[in-house]
Structure 1
Amino acid sequence: MLNQYETVFILTPVLSDTQVKETVTKFKNVIAENGGEIVYEEDWGLKKLAYPINKKTTGFYYLIEFKANGETIDKLETQYRRDERVIRFLTFKLDKFAAEYAIKRRSNKSVEKKVEE
C-alpha cells in the first residue's frame, strides 16, 4: 500500500531557472523510479528565508505531493543530502485529515486561477 507524502525543499538562490527545473526533475524522477506516483507539485518561487542558512537569505521553494512506500522516502532524502544545491528539505507523511486538506487546498488554487483568467 502506498502512503501519501508531501515534501518541500529549498534550493540555493544562485541557480538559474533551467538549473532549478533540472534539479526538480531529478527529484521527481527519483520518486517515479522507485514506484512513487506524483499527485501534485507547486513552485513557490524565490522567497526570503526566516533565518540565514549557509550565509544565504533567500532560496527557491518547491513542493511535491506524492504517493510512495517508505523505501522511496529513504532514497529521496539520500538524494537531497547528496545534492549541494539543496539548502533544506522536509518530507512528511500525510494522515487522512492532512490528505483531505491538501485536496481542498488544490481545488481552491484551481478556482483562484480560473477567477484570474
Structure 2
Amino acid sequence: MLRNYELAYIADPELDEEALASLEERVKSWIEAAEGKTLNVDRWGKRKLAYQIQKRSEGYYFIFETEMPPTAGKTLERELGLSEQILRYLLTRREP
C-alpha cells in the first residue's frame, strides 16, 4: 500500500547547477530504492532563510511529491540526514 508524501529540502547555496541536478537525481534514486516513485518535483530556486542553518543564510528549495510505502520514510530520512549537501529536510504525509 503506497501513501502520498511531500518531501521538502534545502540544498547548500554554494552548489552549482550540475551539482544541484546530481543531488536531485540522487534523491529520486533514494525514493526508488525505498520502493517509491516521484510524482512531481518543484524547484523553488535560491531563497533567503529565516535564520542561519550551518552558517548559511540562503539555500536552494526543492519540493518532491512522492508515493512510498509507510516503512520507506525511515530509510529515506536516514539518507537525507547523511547528505552534507542538504541543510534541512522535512518529510510529511499528504492526504490524497
Alpha carbon RMSD of aligned pairs, Å?
0.9
TM-score by length of 2: 0.95
TM-score by length of 1: 0.79
Q: Which has the higher contact order (CA 8 A, sep 6+)?
A: 2
1:88 aligns with 2:88: yes
Same amino acid, percent of matched pairs: 27
Q: Deviation digits for residues 50-82 of structure 1, max 9, x if unmatched?
A: 111111100000010010012221111111111
Q: Which moved more, 1:57-66 or 1:31-40?
A: 31-40
Match of 1:31 in 2: 31
Q: Aligned partner of 2:19: which letter? A: Q
The 4+ residue runs of structure 1 with deviation greater than 4 A are none
* Alpha-carbon shift at residue 3 of structure 1 (Å): 0.5
Contact 2:34 2:76 survives alignment (8 Å): no
Where do 5+ consecutive residues of structure 1 fail to align? 100-117
Q: How many residues are matched? A: 96
In structure 2, what is the Cα distance between the partners aligned to 1:86 and 1:70? Answer: 23
